[in-house]
Amino acid sequence: MNLSLILNILNFVLGGFATTLGWLFATLMSAVLIVTLPYTRSCWEICKMSLIPFGNDLIHVKYLEPKSAVGNSLGSLLNVVWFILFGWWLFLAHVFCGISQCLTIIGIPTGLANFHIARIALFPVGQRVIPKEMADLIRRQAAEKHQRFYQ
């Protein structure tokens, strides 16, 4: 068995199910309320990350689609409104879940994953879930591009 699979199952059992339900609720609410429809994709992406945090990573859309409107000031405005409507309670859910998981020795890795997702829960607009290896490759390419720019 793969270590990521074991950790994902452990996360699900130790509270990942509850946080995933929170994200699923936020996804459904953002789809039902027409005004918040732009948040549906972000909610769904983080819902996937909450369910399967190991082996996946979040990367900003500006690295995947540089000309996307979400990567500019529109994304920033959407993130501020998100924080007011949904972000704070999803953030707190992940923090409390992470603390309770870290109280057990076996739950420390999943607790740390919840703290990572809690940070993203505050401002999720523009985040995409991709395999960890692909995210590392994209970040490395972006770093090399910036390094060449400043040389």
Confidence at residue 69, expressed as pLDDT on a 0 to 100 scale: 59
Tens digit of pLDDT for each residue in 8-67?
999 999 888 998 998 899 899 889 988 888 888 888 988 999 999 999 998 888 888 777
Cα atoms in the Cβ-side hemisphere of radius 13 Å centred on 82: 27
Q: How many structural domains compose the chain? A: 1
* Residue range of the domain that includes 143: 3-149
CA distance 122 to 46: 11
Tokens at 149, concatenated: 């720019």
Of 34, 41, 26, 123, nearest in space to 79 by CA: 123
CA distance 11 to 51: 8
Does this model's pTM top 0.75? My answer is: yes
State the alpha helices, DSSP H only, in the chain: 3-11, 17-32, 40-51, 61-64, 73-82, 88-102, 108-122, 132-149
Write the burial class of residue 60 (CB in 10 Å: 0-12 exposed, 13-18 middle, 19+ buried): middle
Confidence at residue 45, expressed as pLDDT on a 0 to 100 scale: 87
Tens digit of pLDDT for each residue in 80-127?
888 988 889 889 999 999 999 999 999 999 999 999 999 999 988 888
